[in-house]
Structure formats: structure tokens, C-alpha cells
Amino acid sequence: MTKKNSIIWAWLKAKGKIFKIISNSTKGTIKVYDEKGKLLMKKTNLSKKQVELVEDSFLSFVVNKLNSFDIKHQKEDFDPMVA
């Protein structure tokens, strides 16, 4: 169940994997789950500003990479978060 003030992000990874990121600026948490639902990373005790900064940076970087990406030239191991 999603709690109030939580944002759920879908992070498209290489080879069709989709990671789920749940951020909550009120609770000061960021959690990253792999495609199988396994918790990979959990950050706690973050300030509201820190969580918002991560959210803004993540959104800006992913959107910029996806907007400039040419699907015709996609390599099998392409990962917009590593490129």
C-alpha cells in the first residue's frame, strides 16, 4: 500500500529490467527495489530538501537522457543511468 506523500518511480534499466524507487520527503526515505521486489538500497533520516533534491536530479537526468536517445541505435546493454 502506498502511503501519503510517497512517490513511486519506474526506473527502466538495461535488458528490460524495471526498478522501483519509492521516495517520501515527509518520512525522509528513499528505497530502491529490483525487478523481483528485492530491496537493494534504503536511505533514511534524510531531510525533506535532500529527498526533493534526489527526486529533481533523478527526474532531470532520466528525462534528458530519454529525450535525446535514438531508439534505432539502442544497444542491448544500454542503461541511461550509466551512459
**DSSP per residue over 38-70, as a string?**
-EEEEE-S--HHHHHHHHHHHHHHHHHHHHT--
For residue 57, the enclosing domain spans: 6-73
In percent, how much of the chain has pLDDT > 90?
35
**Residue that is written with C-alpha cell 532531470 in the block:** 60
Please indicate, yes or no, if residue 80 is contained in any of the structural domains.
Answer: no
In tens, the pLDDT along 26-65 reads: 999 999 999 999 999 999 999 999 999 988 888 877 655 5
Across 15-20, average pLDDT: 84
pTM: 0.67
Please indicate, yes or no, if residue 83 is contained in any of the structural domains.
Answer: no
C-alpha separations of 76 from 18, 22, 25, 41 in Å: 15, 27, 35, 25
Please indicate, yes or no, if residue 79 is contained in any of the structural domains.
Answer: no
How many structural domains does the chain have? 1
